[in-house]
Amino acid sequence: MLFQQAYDKFENDTFKQALKTLTLDNLPLSVCCRHSGNIDKDSVEITILSSAESEDIIQLKTGVFFREVLAGCVCSDDVSQTINDENGYCELQVKFNKDTNKLEITL
């Protein structure tokens, strides 16, 4: 429903807000991870790099910034060393079919 509302306005900010409602299960970000593949869901930031519209498709190129959580070793009693994170980035292609309201996200 949010994507239909975004389409009705076709404003990048509205699509950006709608994309933020997706879960990590919907975004293929683990492919872009270099270590554990564990992503901090609160760290995901989506930027629309470009957009194009045809009669039946809206296509977006997005840049996604996120933090990958790296599990560490506790070699001392310092708990702050147990979890580290690393910044990650991935570019995704998003296609929204206006006729079916189907959203397709690919690398």
Q: State pLDDT tens for residues 14-33.
A: 777 778 788 888 889 988 98
Range of the domain at 29: 2-106
Question: Could you tell me the CA-to-CA distances from 28 to 19, 33, 36, 52 in Å, in that order?
Answer: 13, 10, 14, 22
- pLDDT, residue 22, reads 84
Q: For helices 2-9 and 12-20, what crossing angle results, to 10°?
A: 170
**Residues of the chain falling short of pLDDT 50:** 1
C-alpha–C-alpha distance, residues 61 and 58, integer Å: 10
Amino acid found at 16: K
Q: What is the pLDDT of residue 51?
A: 87
Residue 1 is predicted with a pLDDT of: 46
- Counted domains in the chain: 1
